[in-house]
Amino acid sequence: MTLIAAQPVANVLAPQYTAPTVSDTFRWEPGLIYIARVGVTSTTITLVIPGVDDFTAIAEPDLAASAVTSADRLFIIDREARDTATGLVTVTYSQVAGVTAALIKTPYAA
C-alpha cells in the first residue's frame, strides 16, 4: 500500500502519472480527482467505499470500473470514499502492468 500526494492545479495542469501499487491510499480532501490510465491488459479499478449503510447495516458498495483496456478512468473523490477512522481513501487494481495514475487537487470542492 502506497500513500500518494495530490497534484494541485489552478487552471491548467499536465498530470504527472506514476505507476500504482495494487493498493494505493491518499488523504481525503475536497476537490480530488483520481485518474487511472490503463494499457492493453484488462484491469479492474476499485475505489473502496468503507463502512455500512446507516439504515440497512449492509456494506456500502465499492465503485469499480471493470475490464478497462487502453483507456483512462476519472474518479471524483467525495467524502463517502474516505475511511472515517483514518481519513484515507483506498484504490485497488486487479493488476498494475501498464497502468499509471495521478491524483489531482482542484480548487473547486465537490
What pLDDT, in 10s, does the model give residues 19-28? 999 999 999 9
Provide the pLDDT confidence category of residue 1 given band limits of 50, 70 and 90: low
* Closest to 36 measured CA to CA, from 85, 75, 88: 75
Cα–chain center distance at 51: 17
CB atoms inside a 10 Å sphere around CB 3: 9
What pLDDT, in 10s, does the model give residues 37-87? 999 999 999 999 998 888 888 999 999 999 999 999 999 999 999 999 999
108 has a pLDDT exceeding 60: yes
54-58, 76-80, 88-92, 94-98, range with the lowest pLDDT:
54-58
CB atoms inside a 10 Å sphere around CB 74: 11
Give CA–CA dist 99/37, Å, rounded: 6
Domain boundaries, the chain: 2-105
Q: What is the mean pLDDT of the chain?
A: 91
Task: Report, as an integer, the average pLDDT of 86-109.
Answer: 93
In the chain, the N- to C-terminal Cα span, in Å, equals 26
* Closest to 42 measured CA to CA, from 92, 1, 90, 93: 93
4-8, 43-47, 66-70, 92-96, range with the lowest pLDDT:
4-8
Provide the pLDDT confidence category of residue 109 given band limits of 50, 70 and 90: low
